[in-house]
Chain A
C-alpha cells in the first residue's frame, strides 16, 4: 500500500469509493463534477500552484495492483476564504451565595478561532481493506507529510469528527438548535454544507451565546460526542496527541479535536534518515516512511530496522517509495513505541 497524491486518472475509482461511503461522507460528495474539480484542485495544490488558503491535499491509498482503496485529505488552512465557525463550550455561572444559588450552565459561544489552522478531513477506507496498518497509513501519512512540509500548514492541525446521529442521519443537536434557524432537516443542511455552503449556512445561525440548558436532553447529551463510526479515527488521533479542547461543530456538535503541529507524535518523533535495503527481521517494528517529495509524494508502512542513521527496509518498500538506496527519507515508528513498551 502507498499513500500518494490523487491524479485525474483516479477519478472513476474515486467516484466508486465515495459512493460506497454513502451520504454521511459530506466533505467528499459523490458528484462527478464536484469531484473532478476537487481532484484538479488537489493536483494544483501538490504542484505548489495555490496559496495556503486554498490548498487541498487530497491523497489516495493504493494497493500494489494500483487499485485505489482509500482516500484522505489535508486542507492548508480553514477560514481564510470564508468564515469558519465552531462553538466553544464555555460556562456561565448563575450564583448568589445569599440565596444559596450556584448554577453552572454550559454555554455555547460561536467563534472563528480555528481560522488559519490546517484541517485533516475526508478520510474513507474501503470496508474490506480495514485491517493491518491501512487505516493508520491513510490517517497518519498526512501527519508525516506535515512534518516534512511544516511551512505549508498552520500551527495546529484540527479534525472535525462527525457527531451523533441516528440511523436516518438525524442529529438530535440539529433538531434542538439548527432546525429552528433553517427550517430544513439535518441531512439537507449537511448536504449543502458538503457542497461548500457551510459558511452561508453559518450566516443563519444565531450569533449570541446559547445556554445548553435550553436544548433538549438528547441534544445536550451529544455535545462533543463523536459518532460511533468515528471512534477508531478518534483513538488513532488521540494517541498522536490530538485532544478535544471544547470546540464543536455548529451543526451536529461533533468534537473538533486539535493538536499543535510540533507536539504531534508523528511529527515530533519523525526523523530524516537514509534508506537502506536489506532484510528487516519479522519482529522489526513497522515504520511510516515518506519519500520527502511533494508532487511525487509516496508514503508507505513497512517493517524496518534502524541502524545508525539508516533505515533498513526490503526492496519492495523502496520500490513503493520510488527510491534508490541511499535516498533521504522521513520516517517515524507507526505506533508510539513507549506505548508499545507499556503494552508489552
Chain B
C-alpha cells in the first residue's frame, strides 16, 4: 500500500534520490543535501505550527510504499507564494497602439514582469516515480494536497496557483530561456534552474528584465514556448485541469511554462470532497476508487482505496487502510472519488 504523509527528517537520503530524478524545472526540489534538510525541517515546523492564518508555511508530502519503505514521490504546497518577498511571473498581455491619421490599429503582445500572483497558495515540487505516472497514485500525490487544504482552509489563501514546467529539449535547452533569460544571466537554462532551487527565486527574478518584452521580438522557437508544457509536466497539468484549474495570462519567467489558477473554494477535490466517519470490521463491497485522507495536521495521511461509499453513511475501511491512515473506528475522514 502507498500512503501520502508529511515528510520527516529520516526521509532525507531517499528524498535526495527523488530530487536527483526530478525534472530540471521543478526548482523546489534541489539536489542539494543541505537545502533539502532545511526544506524538511521547515516543513516539519509548518505542520507543528499553530497558525491562525496563512503565512510562510510550506507543507511537504512524500508518497511511501509501506511494504518496501521506499519513497516513490513527493509534492508540496506553499501557503503563501512570495511571503515576505515578491513572487514574480511574466504577464502576457496586449499593448494596443493606434494612429487615427494612418487608420492603423493593432495590438502587440508583451511580457511584463509582475508580482500579481503574490499571496496565493502555491502547489509545487510534484515528482513521482516514472513507473507510477498516470496511475491513481499520481492523482493521490497531487490531489491529497487539495484534500489537506480542504481540511485546513484557514492555513491557505483564497486562490491556489501552480507553475507547470515549461518546454525544454532532451539536451536541457529551453528556447524561451535562450531568447530571454540567457541575455540577462549568461547562464545555461539548467544552471539557472539549479540556482533557483538553491538561491531565493526572487533574488534571481530581480535580475530579469524590468521593462516589457515585446513578444514578436523573440525568436519563433521562443514564442512557441509561451505557455507550452514540458512533456513530463503534462500529467501534473492534466490532473489540476480536471480539478478546475485554468491557465491565464501568466507564465514562468525562465521557461515560459503556463501558470494554473483556481479559486480555492471551487477546486473540485475541495468543493466536492465529503467528510465522513470510519467504520471498521465490515466487509467492503468495493464499488469505486477514492482518495481518502484523515483530517489531521502533522499526522496527515492519504491513500487510494476501493470503497463502498454512500453519502451520510459511515465508511467501511479495511484494517490495512485504517493502519495506513492511522485511524480507528469513528475517526473523521475525508474522501473524493478518483
A contact set with B: CB distance below 8 Å: 92, 94-96, 98-99, 101, 103, 105, 107, 176-177, 180-183, 192, 197, 200-201, 203-211, 213-215
CB distance from B66 to the nearest CB of A (A): 42
- CB distance A203 to B108 under 8 Å? no
Checking B101, B104, B183, B217 against A180 with a beta-carbon cut-off of 8 angstroms, the contacting residue is B217
Chain B residues closer than 8 Å to A96, beta-carbon distance: 203, 207
Determine whether B314 belongs to the interface, using a CB cutoff of 8 Å to chain A. no
**C-alpha spacing A206/B217, complex, angstroms:** 12
Q: What are 16 A-B pairs at a CB distance below 8 A?
A: A94-B185, A95-B207, A105-B183, A107-B211, A181-B214, A182-B104, A197-B102, A200-B102, A201-B99, A203-B97, A205-B97, A208-B214, A209-B211, A211-B211, A214-B213, A214-B218
Chain A residues closer than 8 Å to B136, beta-carbon distance: none
Interface size on B, residues (CB 8 A): 30
Chain B residues closer than 8 Å to A213, beta-carbon distance: 183
Chain A residues closer than 8 Å to B187, beta-carbon distance: 99, 101
CB distance from A174 to the nearest CB of B (A): 13
B contact set with A: CB distance below 8 Å: 95, 97-99, 101-102, 104, 106, 108, 110, 179-180, 183-187, 195, 199, 203, 207-209, 211-214, 216-218
Chain B residues closer than 8 Å to A92, beta-carbon distance: 209
- CB distance B186 to A101 under 8 Å? yes
- The closest CB in chain B to the CB of A213 belongs to B183
The A/B interface has a contact count, at CB < 8 Å, of 81
Chain B residues closer than 8 Å to A105, beta-carbon distance: 183-184
- The closest CB in chain B to the CB of A215 belongs to B217
**C-alpha spacing A99/B99, complex, angstroms:** 45
**C-alpha spacing A95/B203, complex, angstroms:** 11
**C-alpha spacing A311/B252, complex, angstroms:** 74
**C-alpha spacing A176/B214, complex, angstroms:** 11
- CB distance A200 to B97 under 8 Å? no
Known: A101-B207, A209-B211. A203 touches B185 (CB 8 A): no
Checking B101, B108, B211 against A181 with a beta-carbon cut-off of 8 angstroms, the contacting residue is B108
Chain B residues closer than 8 Å to A107, beta-carbon distance: 211
Chain B residues closer than 8 Å to A94, beta-carbon distance: 184-185, 207-208
CB distance from B37 to the nearest CB of A (A): 22
- CB distance A183 to B106 under 8 Å? yes
Checking A99, A197, A201 against B195 with a beta-carbon cut-off of 8 angstroms, the contacting residue is A99
- CB distance B207 to A210 under 8 Å? no
**C-alpha spacing A201/B101, complex, angstroms:** 9
CB distance from A214 to the nearest CB of B (A): 5
Known: A103-B184, A180-B108, A211-B209. A203 touches B98 (CB 8 A): yes
**C-alpha spacing A200/B99, complex, angstroms:** 6
Known: A105-B183, A206-B108. A201 touches B102 (CB 8 A): yes
- The closest CB in chain B to the CB of A196 belongs to B101
